Structure 1
């Protein structure tokens, strides 16, 4: 708009200058034509012709200048139209940029809210991590305590296993001793039975052959046998125990 106004003003100034110059030329021609004392008619005609030629030349120049100015004005209008189109395009781009900027502001606000939420979640995760670390420390202490107890229990188990092995060995030895004692018991029981039978037989024989003269020797002879028979049950009980 400013370029078009300046071009139109320039054109008006040039046209006004040409009009003033034409009027001044006509006044000079009239003055020269009305003053015969200063110049002759022929000379005035020559000057008038020269002035007419100059005037025609000025008119041609003025027409050329006018056409050039009109061309400049048309070019100015074309430039103005093109510039206006560019301005409109830039306005549209600016409007789009403003919309994009508003969207960016909204996105930045949303991102700021998300960042705040994430920071809060990070703080919560840090607190959870601290709690888990403390819990893990307690669990490690408990694991160490359980490991210590397990080690003690393993030692106790090994001791019990050793005691069990010793008890098994002692049981086997006792079983063997019991078997030997049972064998000895059976042997002694057999011997006792046989001795009792022999003693009964001898007692019956001696009772049948007993007489008043030999009673003392028979008593002396039966005393060791009676003592042996009395010691056999004690020996059997000792072997059984």
Structure 2
């Protein structure tokens, strides 16, 4: 009995010791947890982390909205840029069309001015022809009228050639020398035709001067002498007409030949300065041929002045045209 009581007493003591130890450990844990700063900072960090997470989500939403708005604005800007480019191309095409129309109008004005001048000269010549009673004077007036019309046509062709030379300026010198030689030969031919015409007219005047004394000496045979005078004066008049026709044909042939050669020449290569020199030489040759014809000295001087003025105007307008025709640089 004593042994049993001792063992039970020992068990009670062990249990009491364990309970006391557990209570002390629990008390220490509670005190440490209550007084520990690390546990408080982690809770605070969790709260701050949650707050920052909420702010980040809000910033993401705002960023997405701003991104969508900027993309829409960028698309609108691109569309406006395309519209402006299309408008710029349309305006460039209109500007080119206006420049082409302006150039055509300018050339038409030049041709019209030449035609007006030629018509005024023809009207003046017709008035002079009506005021002159003799048939020889009428024939001379008609020849002068034909010469003036021919010179007007030549002047128009020269103005067109000058305009072409101002607009096109490729390099090269071989063909220009050949054309200069052809122009020189044509000038010599024109001079020869003019000399033939002058000789024919001098023969006509000599025949008329020979027939006038005969008419004064023989007054009784006036009808026969007048008939003989008409027969003697007709051949010189008729002899002057072929020379004039040859001159006109040679001038027209020269214009046609030079126009064709000029088109071929501009497609290959020419120097701008030498080409203008060539054209001016052509002008001076034609003026020299006009001076060789009697009664056309004043018209030749006016033609020279007008051609030089038209050449200067064509060069200035071509320079302005080169400045205006650059819509692609915009």
Identify the structure with bigger relative contact order (alpha carbons < 8 Å, sequence gap 6+): 2
| TM-score, normalised with respect to structure 1 | 0.42
Q: TM-score, normalised by structure 2?
A: 0.32
Which is greater in Rg? 1
